[in-house]
Chains A and B, each alone.
Chain A
């Protein structure tokens, strides 16, 4: 009996080995093409003109027009993150000197601003999750320790203010923040029971009001602002009562949920991670899809906000993240970067007149 079991196990192993080629089948999506190792690159413009990359020495370098310029110098193994926006006026750089020594998901990093395509960096402060707003005129970043969102005007440094979150229950919560105009901030928060909500902060009169309160703590809310429309994503987390919805508020001058309309609903918990700032005005996020065998796959999809039409854009089965790098939609997946929307525009760096 035992020998029979061993034979059966061996046969199963043999079949699995033979079929293993098909388990990690190749995707049809192109891989983001770069002139150097993608894992050194921190930001690349859509036309390939500007590339911010880091060296093992700890320096951040800007490469453009056959020229390299130092942006920031750091100690060895410093890790940089570079953030852009659709307005292409500013670049934000986050610096973590102890990245490989000090694993802390809430770590406060030094934040710098740089003009798009330039290398002169200016220190802004310390925080996490920097976001550019309003034509790159404002920046917000978060301090998870004092639970404050810091806002700073990038043109006039004296213009700054802070919003304290009500959240005390989730030490790892990061709010979603948008600025529809220079008088208003919309952000997500958690109450004392962990229920997610959307708050509005009026900058001038420093008043808060509640736009939406969630019904369960087993859900997350995401905000995405584009072209004067506010998209609100509500994605379940728990096993019970799974659901995902995306609503849009067309009039950002009067943001209330009464003015919202539902553009998407699912009975599964999607991962979310909404991106709305693409040129085609579509919405992109990571959706959960049930297969015929009952398994749940995750793919990046797009939604046309007007028609509600959903298109599946990836074939990775286990996609979990989607990022917008200067207008190109990219899916980081198992150490590779798949180009979901956009082209691999690589500048022709042939020397004029060259025969090569």
Chain B
């Protein structure tokens, strides 16, 4: 195709410059009509061939020798010769004749038999000369003599490069060159760019071309021995040298040079040889964040230390059985079950952009709006979170609580532990965040310890522990001292768990848990718009919000904003109809979700979606139609009848 376009450009150029009317030379009757473009090209090629052959024949009478060059004032490659080279040479080598070194590259390419004319490989060159007597002539000169002259008068570097790549020195030279293997795309592009402008490139490409031509000729000879007699001297030489190169040059260098020269116009194709496709491989090479597979591989390999080999092992395990990912980590970090398989997950993650350098445990948190908000907070903040099965509930709640507490005065953290202050006999309440944490002062067990210090005079160093009813045994010595918040998990309704507080073996009354987490994800009324979670997080991170009414706007929004994500609220029965069933009218379980990528699945576009029930590292691929149905389903029930799908970006 590039040869065709080049020819087309040349056709237009020649017509303009020379004023030749190509059509004038064709014998067409008026009835034939105007020729098509292919016919014009055909004619042009035919004409060019004729001109070239004619020029070569007539110049043959004026073949010059080495000594004759001394008498020549100016030399230029003849136009028919250039034309025939342009028509008959590989475009990837033609394209090397550009830039500052273009002219010298032209001679280097000719030297290494990478340029061709109508007659095939170049032995003799047609040149236009002006003698010292100011006589203009078109003459023929052998390629060897011409190049000797050129390398003496200009392109001096070619001479030294030619020497180190000659038949005596080539092997040593090749062995001394560092053929770098790229580790990632960025590095590969740099390596490629360096080669593209390298002085050695025309000399390096000689080898794979010679090897290839030698193989072809030897194959033809095998099939027909008489073919040998038709070969020119140059063809015989190349056949011989090609065979020698194939035997002597190490395989790695051979394949590297072959790959480089074949794909010298396409960095992607050059890089693909060294950089295996696949999303997981991109992570191993460092092109994508490690967290996309780190947590999964730690669970799969049961090893917290991951190196490149272990990651590759992990990839193999995932590829061997795609259902492995469907149950992974479900006990330590409960979430929706079964998870998508490894292949589906790979596709979804390949287009995903949500920052997930942590692991949360949605199955242990009842507030799906909080899980979703927390994921948005983690995406836009630079805070690093730890990953710990025992602390994952608390950390999710803590991030959310910090945002709420630092928001407007009207919105106060509602969860409190209340007691009667013995000093003034008045009811006093302390804010707390549900869950256990070793250092956070708002952690439930810390707040309880503080209260017990005030009402029971316990040591301020004494900490409380949150344990299940089945674990607590007041007859054991370990439970005789200290503070225990005993939870009856069998009677829990999520965060609303009946609890008893024991201090030094005795049950404590007079301490109550009060308050409910009631937050509007998107506003339920215009009056409370500023108190909605959407508004609060947008304020905190100075985010801009765009309404996303259709798939086209969604796709463009994600495309134009590389770090943006989309969030919305819809009915779980429409998002995941296989798992959640409607039984009655307006049977809709509102579920917030995050969309962070678009996957092109040939027939259709699929969206990378995380519901708050899903593991944060396991997005699903869901069709736009399901998202649309989910949002419209909830819209009809919502008091403001609002379309709830918004893109958020910094």
Contacts and interface: CB of A to CB of B under 8 A. Distances in A.
A105 B639 contact: no
A235 B629 contact: no
Given A39-B586, A145-B492, A273-B581, A102 B518 contact: yes
Interface stretch (B217-225, B460-468, B567-575): B567-575
A197 to B, nearest CB: 15
A321 B368 contact: no
A56 B639 CA distance: 8
Contacts of A38: 585
Taking each of B337, B491, B493, B586, which has the highest tally of chain A beta carbons within 10 Å of its own beta carbon? Answer: B586
16 contacts: A16-B552, A81-B586, A101-B524, A103-B521, A105-B613, A146-B491, A172-B363, A172-B613, A217-B337, A240-B341, A271-B578, A286-B577, A321-B582, A323-B585, A332-B585, A335-B632
7 tightest Cβ-Cβ pairs between the two chains A and B: A320-B577, A170-B337, A171-B363, A101-B518, A335-B632, A321-B582, A318-B625
Contacts of B252: none
Given A170-B337, A240-B322, A194 B613 contact: no
Contacts of B343: 239
B578 A235 contact: yes
B114 to A, nearest CB: 28
Contacts of A261: none
Interface in B604-650: 604, 612-613, 623, 625-626, 628-629, 632-633, 635-639
Nearest to B629: A334
A114 interface: no
B189 interface: no
Given A100-B638, A101-B519, A239-B344, A323 B582 contact: yes
Given A173-B337, A238-B323, A102 B517 contact: yes
B520 A218 contact: no
A312 to B, nearest CB: 18
B171 interface: no
B474 interface: no
Contacts of B636: 39, 335
Taking each of B335, B573, B583, which has the highest tally of chain A beta carbons within 10 Å of its own beta carbon? Answer: B583
A194 B327 contact: yes
Nearest to A273: B581
Interface stretch (B152-160, B404-412, B587-595): B587-595
A186 B517 CA distance: 37
Interface in B495-544: 516-521, 524
Given A193-B327, A295-B603, A335-B632, A325 B338 contact: no
Nearest to A108: B493
B569 A103 contact: yes
A220 interface: yes
Interface size class of chain B, counting residues whose CB lies under 8 Å from the partner chain:
35 or more
B585 to A, nearest CB: 6
A263 to B, nearest CB: 21
A108 B494 CA distance: 9
Contact of A320 (B330, B586, B590, B626): B626
Nearest to A164: B490
B81 interface: no
B584 A43 contact: yes
Contacts of B583: 81, 83, 129, 323
A104 interface: yes
A320 B343 CA distance: 24
Interface in B85-135: none
A232 interface: no
B71 interface: no
Taking each of A44, A240, A337, which has the highest tally of chain B beta carbons within 10 Å of its own beta carbon? Answer: A240
Contacts of A13: 552
B327 A321 contact: no
A106 B366 contact: yes
A42 B583 CA distance: 11
B577 A240 contact: no
Given A100-B639, A335-B636, A105 B368 contact: yes
B13 interface: no
Taking each of B323, B581, B590, B626, which has the highest tally of chain A beta carbons within 10 Å of its own beta carbon? Answer: B581
Contact of B572 (A79, A105, A238, A337): A105
Nearest to B337: A170
Contacts of B633: 332, 334-335
B521 A323 contact: no
Nearest to B330: A169
Given A320-B573, A320-B629, A334-B628, A77 B524 contact: yes
A103 B592 contact: yes
A271 to B, nearest CB: 5
Given A98-B518, A335-B635, A218 B574 contact: no
A103 B327 contact: no
Interface of B: 322-323, 326-327, 330-331, 334-338, 341, 343-344, 363, 366-369, 489-494, 516-521, 524, 552, 569, 572-574, 577-587, 589-592, 603-604, 612-613, 623, 625-626, 628-629, 632-633, 635-639
Contacts of B369: 102-103
Contacts of A327: none
Contact of A145 (B493, B572, B574): B493
B343 to A, nearest CB: 7
Contacts of B589: 103, 105
A294 interface: yes
Taking each of B517, B577, B613, which has the highest tally of chain A beta carbons within 10 Å of its own beta carbon? Answer: B577
A104 B367 contact: yes
Given A273-B581, A335-B633, A295 B604 contact: yes
Taking each of A39, A98, A286, A337, which has the highest tally of chain B beta carbons within 10 Å of its own beta carbon? Answer: A39
Interface string A165-179: 000011111100000
A198 interface: no
Contact of A105 (B520, B580, B603, B625): B580
B591 A82 contact: no
Nearest to A129: B583
A129 to B, nearest CB: 8
A137 B577 CA distance: 30
Contacts of A217: 326-327, 337-338
A191 to B, nearest CB: 12
A21 B377 CA distance: 39
Contacts of B569: 103
Contacts of B590: 99-100, 103
A41 interface: yes
Contacts of B331: 169
B447 to A, nearest CB: 22
B577 A321 contact: yes
Nearest to B519: A101
B519 A172 contact: no
Contacts of B338: 170, 194, 217-218, 237-238
Interface in A90-141: 98-108, 126, 129
A6 interface: no
A180 interface: no
Contacts of B626: 318, 320
A82 B604 CA distance: 37
A40 to B, nearest CB: 8
A269 B592 CA distance: 26
A112 to B, nearest CB: 14
A44 B586 CA distance: 12
A269 B344 CA distance: 16
Given A218-B323, A323-B582, A323-B583, 6 more contacts: A104-B368, A129-B583, A294-B603, A321-B577, A321-B582, A335-B636
A10 interface: no
A333 interface: yes
A294 B581 CA distance: 26
Contact of A41 (B344, B367, B585): B585
Contacts of B336: 170-172
B90 to A, nearest CB: 22
A146 B492 contact: yes
Nearest to A318: B625
A77 B520 CA distance: 12
